[in-house]
Amino acid sequence: MPFSATWHTLLDELDKLEEGAELIAPLSHDRFRITDVQEYRVVVQFSTTEETRPLQHDQFETLYQRIQDMDGEFDLSLLPSDTDPYPAVLSLHPRFEIDEDAGVITEVDAATGTQLVDGDPETTASERTEPEEVDVYSDTLLLVDALERHDVTDLSQLETPALVNLYTLLSDVQRDANDFRRDVADVLLNRLHHDQPVHGQYGSVQRTARRNRSLKDDADVLAVLEDAGVERERVMSVDREKVDEALDVTGLSEAAVYDVDKSEYVRKAEVDEEVKASRLQGLKDRLAASDEAETDELREEIEELEDRIDELTSFNTGREMQG
């Protein structure tokens, strides 16, 4: 099917959209609205920044052609970051669908789902659920509570128990975050391609590789090096593990073979999980009991912060094409 037929079907679908309907970009998850539909372009406006951007007919055709070239399934991570809205708009066509889990846009025979945001956007944005069995969430909540209850701008002024609490929670959050980060990385790895950064709202990630080396069997290594004219003594070194074994069976002191220096540090000795659980439940109960005014005020503060972040990180690609 020529793209002209696909394009006019898409324009018909756009004309049917309800006023104010929002779409969500599949990679950045930016929300935007269709503000104007013209013969050779579609104008969108982003909900958070109110930036207006024209999406050109030629770019839609390029995306369409790339989907065709890839046998009906195109990897969205291959798109430039500023073209994120194009697949979202194209998904309004009955034969194109985005699979965010797989990170692809596909062409299918039957009618498909779209990137339209369901329901009232304000209600959708404010609905939050507590993740289950995610340790970093609980420990982070406790850490935020501790940071809010103490003035941490001058740590030297804090009482020792407060410092102990902060250190313990920071240690727990660091451990939990590293574990969870590895879990996220395992899933991301299958969705990334070399030299193709994938962008989110707060940053971008890229697949990379590192070389890990381990020596082959000692006898094999020595034989190869000797054949190449390298004397055995040049590559032989003292084995620390064997030195420690020798110290255990001789009268030599550690200082005879080691240069020893001593440094002191703080180590977490134990964690009172019962106290943490009790405090955490209290925080959850307090949050659940927050009155509507406090909730609205918090939501407004969050939205203002997100707006400031967007202003600092957003791009104006395509702005010069308006008019």
- pLDDT digit string, tens, across residues 69-125: 888 889 888 888 788 899 999 999 988 988 887 888 998 876 555 666 655 444 444
- What percentage of the chain has pLDDT greater than the value 70? 80
- Entry field: residues in the chain: 323
Instruction: Read off the amino acid at residue 225.
Output: L
Q: Please write the tens of the pLDDT for every residue from 32-52.
A: 999 999 889 999 998 888 889
Q: If we measure between CA atoms, which residue out of 63, 80, 75 comes closest to residue 103?
A: 75
Give the pLDDT score at 121: 45
Give the pLDDT score at 156: 92
Across the range 243-260, mean pLDDT stands at: 87
The yes-or-no verdict on residue 292 having pLDDT over 90 is no
Q: Count the neighbouring beta carbons within 10 Å of the beta carbon of residue 180.
A: 14
Can you tell me the distance from the alpha carbon of 314 to that of 114, in angstroms, rounded to the nearest whole number?
25
Give the pLDDT score at 302: 59
CA atoms within 13 A on the CB side of 86: 27
Give the 3-state secondary structure of residue 104.
strand
More confident site: 177 or 275: 177
Across the range 253-278, mean pLDDT stands at: 79
- Highest mean pLDDT out of 51-65, 133-147, 299-313: 51-65
Give the pLDDT score at 64: 92
Can you tell me the distance from the alpha carbon of 317 to that of 116, in angstroms, rounded to the nearest whole number?
23
Q: Please write the tens of the pLDDT for every residue from 112-166.
A: 556 666 554 444 444 557 777 788 888 888 888 889 888 999 999 999 999 999 9
Helices (H), the chain: 3-15, 57-69, 85-90, 121-126, 135-149, 160-189, 218-227, 232-235, 240-249, 254-257, 273-288, 292-313
Q: If we measure between CA atoms, which residue out of 26, 116, 20 comes closest to residue 63?
A: 26
Asked whether 207 and 192 are in contact (CB, 8 A), the reply is: yes
Give the pLDDT score at 170: 92
Give the pLDDT score at 88: 92
Q: Count the neighbouring beta carbons within 10 Å of the beta carbon of residue 204.
A: 10
Helix 135-149 / helix 160-189 crossing angle, nearest 10 deg: 150
- Highest mean pLDDT out of 204-208, 250-254, 296-300: 250-254
Mean pLDDT lowest for which of 80-89, 184-193, 194-203? Answer: 194-203
Q: If we measure between CA atoms, which residue out of 98, 73, 95 comes closest to residue 85?
A: 98
Enumerate the domain spans of the chain: 3-123+313-321, 128-210+268-289, 218-257
Q: If we measure between CA atoms, which residue out of 318, 78, 306 comes closest to residue 201?
A: 306
Cβ neighbors of 65 (< 8 A, separation 6 or more) are 3
Q: Count the neighbouring beta carbons within 10 Å of the beta carbon of residue 86.
A: 24
Across the range 246-272, mean pLDDT stands at: 82
- What percentage of the chain has pLDDT greater than the value 90? 19
